[in-house]
A and B are shown apart, each in its own frame.
Chain A
Amino acid sequence: MMTTLAYVVAYLGIVFFLIACIARFMMWSKMPMHVRWELYPVAHEGGGKAEYGGSYLEDSEWWSKKREVSLVGELKVMVPEILFLVALREHNKKLWTRSFPFHFGLYLVGGATALMLFAGLIVGYGPDSIGNPVAELMGWVLPVLGGAGLVLGILGAVGLVLRRMARELSDYTAPADLFNLVFFIVAFGVALVTFVGFDRDFSMVGSFVTNLVTFNLAPIGDGTAGLMLVLSVVLLAVLVAYIPTTHMSHFIGKYFAYHSIRWQDDPNLPGGKQEKIIQELLSRPVTWSAPHIGADGKKSWLDVTLEDQDK
């Protein structure tokens, strides 16, 4: 009964997480085109310009030339930024010493979970000749990844809680910010106790995940071990579902912050596809109330822009 509850909550948590992430992604991607607000260096600028923060606007007659856009340039910035939080390290070393272990811990736990899902599929649906060695390998890999991830995540979260109590951060810290971190500490802490006390080879949780992906809701673990497994799964599943509903969804927002704003330098070329979008946006009604705007809720951006010329 208890394990069934864990399966149900795990499914719900995963489904809710995916739906919420997709909804967030859609929300950001469906926003209207905005005016350009890029900030240099722009990582995809080609021709060596990204190195010093240059742009295609340095080129003569840039509008008549093919732009050099470098995906490699973007990856050279994005990958270290995602993995090692480079910007934070550069501009806020004190916080980075807490935030980096926290985030890297999450990556390791996430990685271990992904491996468990992958291994679960192989063990559950593949032949034993492949499934057995994979299971054996996981018995070595998962405790290292998962254990290290949980420890780093807890240490980082504790460090972040303490840091948020420092004078310069405490006034800007809402109770919810502390709750989020404490939630991580509790969920990861319970998972760590389960791992250290009852499941050092990750066999129990591995079996749980295999059952999860094969839709086999068989009971796992007895007594305290089973109870701890259920508690860990429920807490982690609720945490996973909770993340995208908060500003911790910045892992989605950050993609747009960089690609749609900071690095968004696509020019609106004459006759290009952006012109139609802009014309549609300029036809939207304006309701700003200051007298000099001259809006009445019906006049469009174009109307109020051209209106002063009639005077």
Chain B
Amino acid sequence: MKQPDSVKDMGKKPGEPLAQINQLEQIPLPPPFDNLEDEPEFAQLSDEAREKYVVLDDTIAVNIKKPETKEEEDALVNGFLSGLEKLFSVEDNWTFLQPFEMSMEHCAKCQSCSDSCPIYEESGQNELYRPIYRSEILRRIYFKYIKKASPALHGDIDLNWETVARLIELSYRCNLCRRCAQTCPIGADNGLLSREIRKIASMEMGIVPREIHDDGSVLQLQVGSSTGMTPMIVKDNIEFIDEDTAERTGVPIETPFDVQGADILLIHNAGEIMAWPENPGAFATLFEAAGLSWTLSSDVLGYDGINYGVWYDDVQFARVAVRHAQVAKKLGVKKIVLGECGHAHKALTVIADKVLTGDLNIPRESAMVTMRDIVRSGVLKLDKSRNDFPVTLHDPCNMVRLMGIVSPQREIIDAVVPEGRFREMAPHGVENYCCGGGSGFAIMSGHNFQDWRHRMTGRRKFRQILDSFQDESMDPKHYKYVCAPCSNCKGQIRDIINYYDAFEKAGIYYGGLVELIVNAMEDVQPGFIDWEWH
């Protein structure tokens, strides 16, 4: 395993990777995937990519072109310093000023956070991925080059374009799960510092991974969804989903659109509509069966609850959040219910809490709560035996550790899964591990980034999933269900199951929470969960 000797290496060894993982040195997974040699081979970066872009480690997320002139080099350094200074300004960074300064000033560099980071751990404790490695570089740059303090006070570092470019790249080696922050005795937050580095890159320098900016928030603001779906297409798709769902359930449904004055505006992550149509279909089946007054919106942005700004850019974040609120205001709904999407939950409920005012301050509720209330109300006839298979639950970081929504999903599972079939992952709840797709990784796949994500960020979650089913037969015909009530987490879990062929080899399947409810509804034909790999 190659790793940096020091934080000072960041600007040294130009063109060389600072860290490389030997897959045969990684900690083996639990059975039946416990032979490292049987694991898929890690795809290498192409020589062309190494030539063209700044190199940090085994992969590339941001695609920062190597500067060709001194002016371009200076622009990187000066842009970074200018952005860093703005992070300390009330005007430019009131949004995070206090948490940011707290983490910059008070980290004791005690390393209490290191073991909590699944990336650091699964890398074999590679120094580059230590949670404070990037924070320490940021801190030293700030104190030495902006505050002009003596390196004797805060440590030394050389600043050149390579330091800056690698640091930006390194900010995309963190899932922003904030597990590290949870362990900090003082309250410093290395996850936040990763995000603040991303902000400098995006908001000051215009450097962002294409998938989350151009193909993400920009596309969403332009056409309504990062999936590219326009209002017309989304209505067509939902109509098709209604028909398909009705065929599967035997219960006719018609998803309501743009119902003025409905109680609930339900906003899905539009990825569900494209990749997991059974999820919006199940929501429609459930809400109709419960007799709720609800609607979807076909207004631009009204049908896609994603807000990628939470990962990298406060202005893009605010733009999307305001548009979501405007859609709800236009419909005159009583509340917005967020579908199974963790970051959409946090974005609109918690972060936007300090952005939306006046008539845009419309109450927001988690679908976990809405569904729990339906189940609690007794309006549904539920047959638990329809879910008679092993089930484990993934806790999406945004919904659980960062919002405290822990018990509703468990109460639902208790009501729809037979006793003894549900098992918690270890650890779970607010101490969960990220799925590995957090902070945009689930949708990032340039070069060999997807492979890197499977080997590094998603590995701990896959380990947990396997561990949770160790008391079950790993026969592929003995189906096991990973319930992931979050679209991005589901995408990541799908990808990692696919990477290891875990459905074919061990019968491990995945899906959302609402599907488990509908699968247990007596009024619905059996077999809503069809155990077909997709």
Residues of A within 8 A of B (CB): 28, 31-42, 45, 49, 52-63, 81, 85, 87-88, 90-92, 95, 99, 168-169, 171-177, 247, 250, 253-254, 256-258, 260-262, 265, 267-270, 274-275, 278-279, 281-282, 284-293, 301, 304-306, 308-309
B186 interfacial by beta-carbon distance below 8 Å: yes
Which one of A35, A268, A309 has the highest number of Cβ atoms from chain B below 10 Å of its Cβ?
A35
In the docked arrangement, what's the CA distance between A81 and B185, Å? 8
State whether B402 touches A305 (Cβ < 8 A): no
Residue numbers in A under 8 Å from B114 (CB-CB)? 168
User: What's the minimum C-beta distance from A93 to chain B, rounded to whole angstroms?
Assistant: 10
B262 interfacial by beta-carbon distance below 8 Å: no
Which one of B101, B182, B203, B357 has the highest number of Cβ atoms from chain A below 10 Å of its Cβ?
B357
- A289 touches which one: B82, B113, B316 (CB < 8 A)? B82
Q: Which stretch of B49-57, B234-242, B318-326, B463-471 is in the interface?
A: B318-326
Residue numbers in B under 8 Å from A58 (CB-CB)? 366, 368-369, 404-408
State whether A32 touches B361 (Cβ < 8 A): no
Which one of B83, B185, B319 has the highest number of Cβ atoms from chain A below 10 Å of its Cβ?
B185
The 6 closest A-B pairs by CB, nearest first: A257-B187, A55-B404, A53-B430, A92-B112, A172-B109, A290-B206
B73 interfacial by beta-carbon distance below 8 Å: no
In the docked arrangement, what's the CA distance between A303 and B377, Å? 45
Q: Name B356's closest neighbour in chain A (CB-CB).
A: A268
Residue numbers in A under 8 Å from B151 (CB-CB)? 174
Q: Size class of B's contact patch?
A: 35 or more
Residue numbers in B under 8 Å from A306 (CB-CB)? 319, 322
Residue numbers in A under 8 Å from B529 (CB-CB)? none
B46 interfacial by beta-carbon distance below 8 Å: no
Residue numbers in B under 8 Å from A53 (CB-CB)? 400-401, 404, 406, 429-431
Residue numbers in B under 8 Å from A173 (CB-CB)? 109, 155
Residue numbers in B under 8 Å from A45 (CB-CB)? 404
User: What's the minimum C-beta distance from A54 to chain B, rounded to whole angstroms?
Assistant: 5
Residue numbers in A under 8 Å from B349 (CB-CB)? 57
B105 interfacial by beta-carbon distance below 8 Å: yes
A63-B363, A292-B206 known; A34+B98 contact, CB < 8 A:
yes
Residue numbers in A under 8 Å from B110 (CB-CB)? 88, 92, 95, 99, 169
- B402 touches which one: A38, A52, A90, A290 (CB < 8 A)? A38
State whether A275 touches B357 (Cβ < 8 A): yes
In the docked arrangement, what's the CA distance between A90 and B99, Å? 23
State whether B401 touches A40 (Cβ < 8 A): yes
Which one of A37, A169, A267 has the highest number of Cβ atoms from chain B below 10 Å of its Cβ?
A37
Residues of B within 8 A of A (CB): 5-7, 79, 82-83, 86, 89-92, 94-99, 101-102, 105-116, 132, 136, 151-155, 178, 181-189, 192, 202-206, 213, 218, 221, 315-316, 318-319, 322-323, 335, 349-351, 353-358, 361, 363, 365-366, 368-370, 373, 400-408, 429-431
Residue numbers in A under 8 Å from B408 (CB-CB)? 58
Residue numbers in B under 8 Å from A31 (CB-CB)? 90, 97-98, 101
- A172 touches which one: B136, B202, B203 (CB < 8 A)? B136
Knowing that A31-B97, A54-B405, A305-B322 touch, tell me 4 more A-B residue pairs with CB under 8 angstroms.
Answer: A32-B94, A91-B116, A270-B358, A292-B316
In the docked arrangement, what's the CA distance between A292 and B216, Å? 13
A35-B351, A176-B154 known; A261+B187 contact, CB < 8 A:
yes
In the docked arrangement, what's the CA distance between A287 and B88, Å? 12
In the docked arrangement, what's the CA distance between A289 and B203, Å? 7
- A39 touches which one: B101, B109, B181 (CB < 8 A)? B181
In the docked arrangement, what's the CA distance between A87 and B108, Å? 13
Residue numbers in A under 8 Å from B356 (CB-CB)? 268
A55-B403, A275-B358 known; A34+B94 contact, CB < 8 A:
yes
Q: Name B151's closest neighbour in chain A (CB-CB).
A: A174
- B361 touches which one: A55, A171, A268 (CB < 8 A)? A268
Residue numbers in B under 8 Å from A95 (CB-CB)? 110-112
Q: Name B359's closest neighbour in chain A (CB-CB).
A: A270
State whether A57 touches B405 (Cβ < 8 A): yes
State whether B108 touches A250 (Cβ < 8 A): yes
Q: Name B205's closest neighbour in chain A (CB-CB).
A: A290
A85-B185, A254-B187, A291-B206 known; A39+B95 contact, CB < 8 A:
no
State whether B91 touches A36 (Cβ < 8 A): no
State whether A40 touches B353 (Cβ < 8 A): no
Residue numbers in B under 8 Å from A305 (CB-CB)? 315, 318-319, 322, 355
State whether B101 touches A282 (Cβ < 8 A): no
Residue numbers in A under 8 Å from B365 (CB-CB)? 60-62
Q: Name A266's closest neighbour in chain B (CB-CB).
A: B353
State whether A287 touches B86 (Cβ < 8 A): yes
Residue numbers in B under 8 Å from A168 (CB-CB)? 111, 114
In the docked arrangement, what's the CA distance between A54 and B115, Å? 24
State whether B187 touches A286 (Cβ < 8 A): no
In the docked arrangement, what's the CA distance between A286 and B464, Å? 44
State whether A250 touches B315 (Cβ < 8 A): no
Residue numbers in A under 8 Å from B111 (CB-CB)? 92, 95, 168-169, 172
In the docked arrangement, what's the CA distance between A91 and B218, Å? 41
In the docked arrangement, what's the CA distance between A309 and B109, Å? 44
Of the A-B pairs whose beta carbons lie under 8 Å apart in the complex, a sample of 29, sorted by A's number, is A32-B94, A33-B94, A34-B354, A35-B96, A53-B400, A57-B350, A57-B369, A57-B404, A58-B368, A60-B373, A62-B365, A88-B112, A99-B110, A176-B152, A176-B154, A247-B105, A257-B188, A261-B99, A261-B189, A275-B358, A279-B357, A286-B92, A287-B89, A288-B203, A289-B203, A290-B204, A301-B318, A305-B318, A309-B323
State whether A52 touches B407 (Cβ < 8 A): yes
User: What's the minimum C-beta distance from A72 to chain B, rounded to whole angstroms?
Assistant: 18
Q: Name A49's closest neighbour in chain B (CB-CB).
A: B404
State whether A91 touches B206 (Cβ < 8 A): no
State whether B94 touches A284 (Cβ < 8 A): yes
Residue numbers in B under 8 Å from A269 (CB-CB)? 361
User: What's the minimum C-beta distance from B354 to chain A, rounded to whole angstroms?
Assistant: 4
State whether A290 touches B202 (Cβ < 8 A): yes
In the docked arrangement, what's the CA distance between A168 and B125, Å? 11
State whether A35 touches B407 (Cβ < 8 A): no
Residue numbers in B under 8 Å from A87 (CB-CB)? 112, 183-185
Which one of A81, A269, A305 has the highest number of Cβ atoms from chain B below 10 Å of its Cβ?
A305
Residue numbers in A under 8 Å from B322 (CB-CB)? 305-306
In the docked arrangement, what's the CA distance between A162 and B306, Å? 48
State whether A35 touches B429 (Cβ < 8 A): no
- B204 touches which one: A250, A288, A304, A309 (CB < 8 A)? A288
A39-B182, A253-B102, A292-B206 known; A267+B97 contact, CB < 8 A:
no
Q: Name B217's closest neighbour in chain A (CB-CB).
A: A292
In the docked arrangement, what's the CA distance between A278 and B192, Å? 21
- A260 touches which one: B5, B83, B98, B116 (CB < 8 A)? B98
- A308 touches which one: B185, B221, B368 (CB < 8 A)? B221
Residue numbers in B under 8 Å from A54 (CB-CB)? 404-407
In the docked arrangement, what's the CA distance between A293 and B309, Å? 12
State whether B95 touches A262 (Cβ < 8 A): no
User: What's the minimum C-beta distance from B181 to chain A, rounded to whole angstroms?
Assistant: 6
In the docked arrangement, what's the CA distance between A177 and B400, Å? 36
State whether A36 touches B350 (Cβ < 8 A): yes
User: What's the minimum C-beta distance from A95 to chain B, rounded to whole angstroms?
Assistant: 5
User: What's the minimum C-beta distance from B41 to chain A, rounded to whole angstroms?
Assistant: 31
State whether B351 touches A175 (Cβ < 8 A): no
A258-B187, A285-B91 known; A37+B192 contact, CB < 8 A:
yes
In the docked arrangement, what's the CA distance between A64 and B401, Å? 24
Which one of A49, A169, A268 has the highest number of Cβ atoms from chain B below 10 Å of its Cβ?
A268
